[in-house]
Amino acid sequence: MDFGFILSSAASEIFSPTTAAYALAALGLAVHFGYSGLLNFGQAGFMAVGAYGFAISTLTFGVPFFVGLLIAILASAVFALLLGIPTLRLRADYLAIVTIAAAEIVRYIVTTNQLTSVTGSANGLAAFEGGFYSMNPFPEGSYFGMNNRDFFIRVVGWALVALCCTLIWLLMRSPWGRVLKGIREDENAVRSLGKNVYAYKMQALIIGGVLGALAGMVFTLPRGAVQPANYGTELTFFLYTCLLLGGLGTVLGPVIGAMIFWVVLSLTQGILYGLIESGAITWLNTVQAGQLRYILVGVALMLLMIFRPQGVFGNKKELAFA
Amino acid sequence: MSSTSAAPAAQPVTDGDSVVKVTDLVAGYLPGVNILNGCSIEARKGELIGIIGPNGAGKSTLLKAMFGLVKVHSGTVVVRGQDITGLKANKLVSRGVGFVPQTNNVFATLTIEENLQMGMFQRPKDFAERFDFVAGLFPELGKRRAQRAGSLSGGERQMVAMGRALMMDPAVLLLDEPSAGLSPVKQDETFLRVHEINRAGVSVIMVEQNARRCLQICDRAYVLDQGRDAYTGTGRELMKDPKVIQLYLGTLADTAE
Amino acid sequence: MTITATKDDFTGTATSSANGAWNIGVPEQGTYTVELDESTLPEGIALAEGQENPRDVTFSQTSNLSVIFAFGEGIVVQQQDFGQNLLNRLVAGLSFGLLLALASVGLSLIFGTTGLTNFAHGEMVTLGAVLVFAFNALGLPFWLAILLALLGGGLFGYAQDRGLWRPLRRRGTGLVPMMIVSIGLALAVRYVIQFYFGGATQQLPYAQSPEIQLGPVSISPNNLWSLGISAVVIALIGIVLLKTRLGKATRAVADNPALAAASGIDVDSVIRIVWITGGMLASLGGILWAYYRPGVTFDMGSAILLLIFAGVTLGGLGTVFGALIGSIIVGIFVELTTVFGLAADLKYVGALFIMIVVLLFRPQGILGRRERVG
């Protein structure tokens, strides 16, 4: 078994674009759940709206990159509004069910054969990333063992993560953020101060949703394809695992959580595959090893929630629940 | 006095007439924070005991601790000679303790009859007999047995709640502020009802905010202060006690007499 | 068999593998004519009725595209008049709604007595079907396999409560953390099932069931059985809840757990019975769902989890009879939307959408009590 290879491929996950996408989306969930107490189970839907909003506007309407980006952000804001109007007044468990249902509605709609010409149905859309890579300032060559395209998307992805983290950090320190945390602790107390709780929640939902949409784009650009199967409910649950790994009411928590999530997944896969190839494990095949990782994710999510709900870096006082 | 010491195998901890004896009870909701600091009360057979005191004196906590709903740190609760300290609520019912909480004291989605059935969940065989007993006390319940408890008025709900607690033929009935939230007329009815339950032979321990009305009907009363039993005496005695009047009854006590 | 794709002067040919998969590489995006050579089909297999062959396919924005040729009798393109179709779908929807109700009544009982919104309920549904398949594959008789699967479902419910939920209740864990724990459990169990069961679709015995004509309705015997079984079981549950001592105690615990304990009801044991019942009901629902689809897969339960939630939410969280009515509405709605022109692959969308709309105007659900909504 080649430990060097296993370790280096695990290490490469730390700064992979997918990790950046998970970090952004989990940061969005931190705004929703960690800071505002909104139990959004539809983050995959926001990611799908962002990815499809960008891909469709690029392919169907032929708009340039930045217009596509703007459309994706606007689409996710509209989605947040549509979702927020009926649900933000509801109790947490209703909100969870409605948001997960809305995300699934998005997935069914981009999967249906009725809209194949626009969405590509189950096969999804591809070849929309040209506008992005044409802006690549890095000439061809090797950058830390990557080609210039891989390097560019990583730089952009992580710059975006850094920018968003800074913005959220500043926001949460602002009076606005303090009101939001107040809502999380005691909604009625904030309401009695004359604050419009509903408006604050809606703004938080939109901000977290836009982060989700950006994540959807970062997720989809390096793949050069967007496919509906990637945006199922499990994606949201993986994001919750990242969020809980890192810490709920923190800015860096989701980022570190996403890194841990992907490094651990890569490590377990590498080690399991290595053990299977070397014949040390015979009761598993490589397909089952892949499933074993999901079992681990599920168990990790349970154990984290039960024994360390504040996450690795979280503060127990910042928990949205007792 | 000890003529009725027919308590079963368990060692008679107190003399036979004692139905409930609480000794030096220390209890609280959080570790290290005690609401009760050594409270002792006793109810003898057929007695109507009132417990009064200022807000925060631990009146409701005393009842909840007796009923296993608040953690007891030290002290004992003995019912009919059996030590029941710290037993879970559902075990206490069969030991002869009935409890009527102050709020949420009926099953709103169940009918009156079903509420009463739940009251004797552990002994369904004697339902008809006990139902007649409760319907004798509260004829209103017998007439409307198929009505949902959630659709009843506050006073009616309280009849259902007391009726439910009486179904198991308890040795003692614990009432947590039965008059709270009722109009003055309904309050009078409630005290009358408690009095009737007591006259039917049930020992009652009643926590009350309305100290004067409570003292008027009870045989004996305890005044709680800061988690301890500060004074005790018959209702009449306490109503004339200058300290009690000054602290808990106010000057109106004289005019009410 | 052989498949040919042509466009202008390009022709690509492929021969399908044993499992029927095939692949043709083409030089550019555009419209191709794809034709299946029917003479190369294995003996006894014909293209399903209404399957276009040859057919034109277009792809412009992706680098790959699937074309599926469906075979066999099972896939028949409906060509009935509207009224006939409406009636058939209505009955099928009722059958579907009742099997959903089996799962949602259990979910609702669990929610009512413990407050838990259990995202692992879908896996409880899957388990029933998977166990029947497994026991049957071991050579056990069909009836025994079903019996054991129901017992297995009950056991799973018991184990969940005993090993996980009861300790969490004792710790005073909040409802939102418990909900997230149930998601972790759902993921873990789903992939444990896949680990042993695999990713393929399997069929239970007697899954083939051609439709029969029953008066004005055409329905498959399996659907008819499913309809009958779920109706009887739900009626039994209803009678138990309304009439028996245990049923009343269950409603009492759902109504007011503290008062139930103060009345001498052992709340923990009532909850344990609710979990066992919920597990068995979910198992039964899963078996019937495997016949309704038809097929057993590791994620069949999570595929209808949201419909189960929709049924429960529509009726009002925690009200058992609401869950029944909500599920029937969802089942019928899912089937009827296709009659009124919604594409078959969007039929779940309608049901989820109606749930959101109902919550907008009546957040407590159809039968829910207003104070349940915070």
User: Can you give the residue ranges of every domain in chain A?
Assistant: 3-320
Which of A286-290, C171-175, C200-204, C363-367 tops mean pLDDT? C200-204
Which residues of chain C does B63 touch, with a Cβ-Cβ cutoff of 8 Å?
Answer: none
Whether residue C264 and residue B94 make contact (CB cut-off 8 A), yes or no, is yes
What is the per-residue pLDDT for C371? Answer: 45
Is pLDDT above 90 for C54?
no
pLDDT band (50, 70, 90) for residue C76: very low
B118 and C CB contact within 8 Å = yes
Distance from CA of B90 to the nearest CA of C (A): 4
Which residues of chain B does C249 touch, with a Cβ-Cβ cutoff of 8 Å?
Answer: 118, 121
Mean pLDDT of B38-65: 88
Rounded to two decimals, the ipTM of the complex is 0.90
B110 and C CB contact within 8 Å = yes
Which residues of chain C does A87 touch, with a Cβ-Cβ cutoff of 8 Å?
Answer: 356, 359
Q: Pick B177 or C232 by higher pLDDT.
A: C232
CATH 1.10.3470 is the classification of domain A3-320: yes
What is the per-residue pLDDT for C306? Answer: 93
Q: Do chains A and B touch (3 or more CB pairs under 8 A)?
A: no
- In terms of Cα–Cα distance, which of C165, C355, C361, C157 is closest to C274? C157
Mean pLDDT of B30-59: 86
Mean pLDDT of B159-163: 92
For B163, which residue in chain C has the nearest alpha carbon?
A: C263
Of A294, A303, A304, the CB nearest to C187: A294
What is the per-residue pLDDT for B216? Answer: 87
Ordered by start, the domain boundaries in chain C are: 2-59, 84-361
Of A102, A292, A298, the CB nearest to C356: A102
Distance from CA of C181 to the nearest CA of A (A): 5
What is the per-residue pLDDT for C52? Answer: 63
pLDDT band (50, 70, 90) for residue B5: very low
What is the per-residue pLDDT for B4? Answer: 41
What's this model's pTM, rounded to 2 decimal places?
0.85
Give the position of tokens 């308590």: B7
What is the per-residue pLDDT for C85? Answer: 84
Mean pLDDT of chain C: 84
pLDDT band (50, 70, 90) for residue B14: very low
Whether residue B121 and residue C255 make contact (CB cut-off 8 A), yes or no, is no
Residues in A 17-56 with any Cβ partner in C closer than 8 A: 39
Question: Average pLDDT by consecutive 10-residue portion of chain A (322 residues)?
Answer: 82 91 96 91 96 93 93 96 84 84 93 87 86 88 86 94 96 93 88 91 96 96 90 94 88 92 90 85 82 90 89 65 46
Which residues of chain C does B90 touch, with a Cβ-Cβ cutoff of 8 Å?
Answer: 261-267
Which residues of chain A does C172 touch, with a Cβ-Cβ cutoff of 8 Å?
Answer: 322
Of B93, B105, B107, the CB nearest to C264: B93
Q: What percent of chain C has pLDDT over 70?
A: 78
Which residues of chain A does C317 touch, with a Cβ-Cβ cutoff of 8 Å?
Answer: 93-94
Which residues of chain A does C310 touch, with a Cβ-Cβ cutoff of 8 Å?
Answer: 97, 101
Of B106, B110, B121, the CB nearest to C265: B121
CATH 1.10.730 is the classification of domain C84-361: no
Whether residue B110 and residue C266 make contact (CB cut-off 8 A), yes or no, is no
Q: Which chains touch B (3 or more CB pairs under 8 A)?
A: C
Mean pLDDT of C100-111: 95
pLDDT one-digit tens code per residue, C227-239: 999 999 999 999 9
Q: Pick A316 or C289 by higher pLDDT.
A: C289
pLDDT band (50, 70, 90) for residue C201: very high
A135 and C CB contact within 8 Å = no
What is the per-residue pLDDT for A201? Answer: 94
Is pLDDT above 70 for C45?
no
Distance from CA of A98 to the nearest CA of C (A): 6
For A286, which residue in chain C has the nearest alpha carbon?
A: C195
A309 and C CB contact within 8 Å = yes
Find how far residue A252's CA is from the centre of its chain. Answer: 14
Mean pLDDT of B212-229: 86
Is pLDDT above 50 for B9?
no
pLDDT band (50, 70, 90) for residue C79: low
What is the per-residue pLDDT for B224? Answer: 87
For C63, which residue in chain A has the nearest alpha carbon?
A: A126
Mean pLDDT of C41-68: 60
Which residues of chain C does A126 touch, with a Cβ-Cβ cutoff of 8 Å?
Answer: 61-63
What is the per-residue pLDDT for A316? Answer: 65
Residue to substitute from A292, A306, A308, interface C, most C β-carbons within 10 A: A306
Q: Do chains B and C touch (3 or more CB pairs under 8 A)?
A: yes
